[in-house]
Structure 1
Amino acid sequence: MPMQRLPTSTSKLVTCAQIITSVSSVVKELVENALDAEATNIDIKLEGNGLDLIEVKDDGCGIAKTDMPNMCLPCYTSKVCGYEDLDKLQTYGFRGEALSAICSVADVTVTTRTSEDEFAMAYAVNDCGNIVTAKPSHLNKGTLVTVSGLFRKVPVRKNYLNSGRRAAEELKRVDNIVKSLAVIHPGLRVTFRHNKCLLWQKSACSTLCQSLMQIVGHFVSSKLEELLLRETELSVDMLVPRRETENLAVLCLSNVDCMMLYINNRPVRYKKLEKMVLKYISECFSGQPLTHKYPYCLVSIVISPGEVDANLEPNKTRVMLKEEI
């Protein structure tokens, strides 16, 4: 077959299917957008394992009318103006790809209202990211993104995600993502529903320990202590097992997800940091090895945005530090 240029519709679908790979990737992008909009309340609703419907509603700043025509077009973003701005990045998103990618694999409606708007508007968007209809809505200040018919154009992936065991695993991934983003923002209120059933909710609170307690429960959180480090260029906040805990095993699981690691409030998987935390905890509990076990803990590191590169892969859970820990 001779070489030829792919049709735009095909190349866009292929590319976007690498960015939006699952229900959890949609939820992650939409919740991060809500946090970037300075939301204090976020409500997440799924139906049919998220393949039928995903709704993320927030009370953030909303989207200005002047930005609406471009909000779902690729590479349109309000987060950065040029590559050099990545050194000052304070937001979760920055590429301007998420909404565009979601539109390519699902039906999307964005309802939004800013504090300056007299009323909200609901915009239906086609798979190219263009607005096709607009009508008034009763939404209060904030944004509601409705995603339906996810992967309708990628039936193999839809069938794969909709099978019983895989659907349950994907729902668990969504749960983990929602909790990991919620816990690092103590003042945030979150609800997570599936098929009208409330799966998890978090109330607004004042401390990181209170926030973590709403995930791990009182028994575990009461056996953790907070350690703080404050320097000019570095801030570290750790919740780790208390040294006087007699049996470390009661605070350990075989699942690494119980170790919650953050760099600039971004949930990350960072092997070197994980090993350092495990080594520190193991030394504090000499004689209690952590072979194939992971303790409940939370480590939040805040450094200058210019010292971390989150632009390594689409989901941004893997980062690179300019100065290795």
Structure 2
Amino acid sequence: MPIQRLPPQLISQIAAGEVIERPASVIKELIENSIDAGAQRVQVDLEQGGMRLIRVADDGSGIARDELPLALSRHATSKVAGLRDLEALQTLGFRGEALPSIASVARLVLTSAVAGERSGWRLAGDGSDEFAEVAPAAHPRGTTVEVRDLFFNVPARRKFLRTERTEYLHCEDVVRTHAAVRPDIAFELRHNGRTVLDLPAVGAAAAAGRVAALLGEEFLRHAFEVEEESSGLRLCGWLGAPTHSRSQADQQHFFVNGRPVRDRVLSAAVRRSYRDVLYQARHPVFVLFLDLDPATVDVNAHPAKHEVRFRDGRLVHDFVFRALHRALADLRPGDGSVGSESVALASDGRFGPPRASREPTQGAGSAAPRERDTRWELPLPREPEAPDTAPAVREPASLASPAGMPPLGFAIGQIADAFVLAENARGLVLVDMHAAHERITYERLKKDWRAARMIRQPLLVPETLQVTRAEADLAEASADLLRGLGFEVDRSGPESVTLRAGPALLQGRDLVQLLRDVLADLQHLGHADRAEAALDGVLGTIACHGAIRAGRRLTLPEMNRLLRDMEATEHSGQCNHGRPTYVELDRQALDRLFLRGR
């Protein structure tokens, strides 16, 4: 077949294949256009899950009469005038292909009015590359786009659409997602004549309500806010507690400069942050917003703008990881239901203050603090027997209740030689003593091990690995980083490296394969995630074997020492396998158990 120019209609339909996958894709493009037009209210009407009708109306700046035909022509936009605009894009839509792509696979009517005009104007198309004449139409300031019978002229594409309910749920998710990121805009969604969402515009202080509209009130009850700013990057949003996880990664929302995205750099940072606090193959839940200089991120990496590309991916990854890791580490028992498998939310429903504000103060009747045991093997100390009363302890005043009681309270006794029962200001606390002590030991091991730097074990016979030139260059450039992880690696050729030593802690492991994995992580992620995970795994095993076991009888001072250590330890709501270390029954839950007040 000779080379020939494609017809304009086919060109538009090919472009539509890149951008328009289903009704939800149409809604995404139209809502983003409304937001870019400065809309304060966006109304979405659907019929049959959007397959029969999609109507998006806004009160934005509108489109002038003479510009309506341009709006439906390819490569026309009001948002990009030159390369400099494209490289520092601050709008959501920009490709100039969404409207013409939609118009090529559906029956489209575009009606708009601008301020100061007596009338609005309408332009209609029937799925071909020809449009009717622009005609006057009554319309307030703003734009309405009506899309009927999506893919009616591309039956092969229409076959891939799912049931009405499935398509509708995708559409609803798009509306909820945009509503979450723009609480200052009112959103309304109607399906088959029934109002499903009616979200008035709110200020930043009430933004949590929009997050609840996206993920539900249950998420907010088990989430905490995070906010961090450094090196021109700002991260804020809500993290779900490790115990409030899911079997699927279906409630993970990341926004970059207000744009919902899926990005491997960001995903890797989140996974690494939650690595040793999630149970088995569970997935965290979060809504996070990352803001940075638009010139440092390429939002034109994907036709549908789902993906971005960072100029310095490692900087972004490290910033996000540190912010999330610190936020998770700052969780302590007593921060409401966060970090624990609480049976009921704490009565005040509040989250604890940032860790930085938790400075110890000498409370009334407190004793001087005991020296902390930082040895690797940490059996609970045998203290002299004391009367069965709660010992005086020094606790951070910001964590204590108004009566001076610490978050996990004071021990009452031991159940089945495996659980510590305590009473706090809210009710009862039940602690799995092995899981709790395992986490305490694990965190101390990590701290001690990293402080002592990595001990290297020379190989009896050095191993030479054949690698790519890029991997050899990376190994040579990252020699100090690899040495910090316990690897001694020399470049032995253009496409080979020699492993001379490995981490002593990983003796007996396949160090050659691990080094290959480390180089792959460094190349694609910018950090040695698998090496760190392997080392942490060994430390976790040591902690598990060194923790107190079920069947050991503890004295009340020992139980209280365990509770105080939990309150001072990072991630102490879960053991390093992700299982909860304690549960809490507040007074309301106790009343419900015994039907009090009914």
Partner in structure 2 of residue 268 of structure 1: 261
Partner in structure 1 of residue 175 of structure 2: 178
Do the aligned partners of 2:44 and 2:189 also contact (CA within 8 Å) in 1?
yes
Determine which of 179, 195, 199 is the counterpart of 1:198.
Answer: 195
- Give 3-state SS (helix, strand or coil) of 2:170's partner: helix
CA distance in 2, matches of 1:188, 1:290: 38
Partner in structure 1 of residue 334 of structure 2: none
Q: Does 1:323 align with 2:312?
A: yes
Do the aligned partners of 1:260 and 1:298 also contact (CA within 8 Å) in 2?
yes
From the superposition, tell whether residues 282 and 78 of structure 1 become closer, same or farther in structure 2 (CA, over 3 Å).
Answer: same
Alignment of 1:256-295 (within 5 A): 256-282=249-275, 288-295=277-284
Could you tell me which runs of 5 or more consecutive residues in structure 2 were left unpaired when the two chains were aligned. Answer: 317-598
| Count, aligned residues | 312
Partner in structure 2 of residue 136 of structure 1: 136
Do the aligned partners of 1:39 and 1:58 also contact (CA within 8 Å) in 2?
yes
Alignment of 1:99-178 (within 5 A): 99-125=99-125, 127=127, 131-161=131-161, 163-164=162-163, 167-178=164-175
CA distance in 2, matches of 1:214, 1:221: 10
Partner in structure 2 of residue 235 of structure 1: 234
CA distance in 1, matches of 2:6, 2:217: 55
Do the aligned partners of 2:46 and 2:53 also contact (CA within 8 Å) in 1?
yes
Structure with greater Cα Rg? 2
- The one-letter code sitting in structure 1 at the alignment partner of 2:148 is S
Could you tell me which runs of 5 or more consecutive residues in structure 1 were left unpaired when the two chains were aligned. Answer: 243-247
Deviates more, 1:292-301 or 1:7-16: 7-16
Identity %: 29
TM (normalized to structure 2)? 0.49
1:261 deviates by 0.3
Do the aligned partners of 2:41 and 2:59 also contact (CA within 8 Å) in 1?
yes
1:232 deviates by 6.1
Partner in structure 1 of residue 289 of structure 2: 300
From the superposition, tell whether residues 291 and 36 of structure 1 become closer, same or farther in structure 2 (CA, over 3 Å).
Answer: farther
- The one-letter code sitting in structure 2 at the alignment partner of 1:265 is G
- The one-letter code sitting in structure 2 at the alignment partner of 1:299 is L
Partner in structure 2 of residue 245 of structure 1: none
TM (normalized to structure 1)? 0.88
CA distance in 2, matches of 1:171, 1:52: 11
CA distance in 2, matches of 1:12, 1:259: 33
- Greater relative contact order: 1 or 2 (C-alpha under 8 angstroms, separation 6 or more)? 1
From the superposition, tell whether residues 124 and 282 of structure 1 become closer, same or farther in structure 2 (CA, over 3 Å).
Answer: same
1:231 deviates by 4.1
- Structure (1/2) with the larger strand percentage: 1
Deviates more, 1:84-93 or 1:135-144: 135-144
1:117 deviates by 1.5
CA distance in 2, matches of 1:131, 1:303: 41
Deviates more, 1:92-101 or 1:124-133: 124-133
Q: Does 1:43 align with 2:43?
A: yes
1:206 deviates by 1.7
From the superposition, tell whether residues 130 and 113 of structure 1 become closer, same or farther in structure 2 (CA, over 3 Å).
Answer: farther
Deviation string 1:42-81 (CA, Å, 9 cap, x unpaired) is 1111112212111001111111233223111000001001
From the superposition, tell whether residues 301 and 52 of structure 1 become closer, same or farther in structure 2 (CA, over 3 Å).
Answer: same
From the superposition, tell whether residues 226 and 150 of structure 1 become closer, same or farther in structure 2 (CA, over 3 Å).
Answer: same
1:290 deviates by 4.5
- The one-letter code sitting in structure 2 at the alignment partner of 1:211 is R
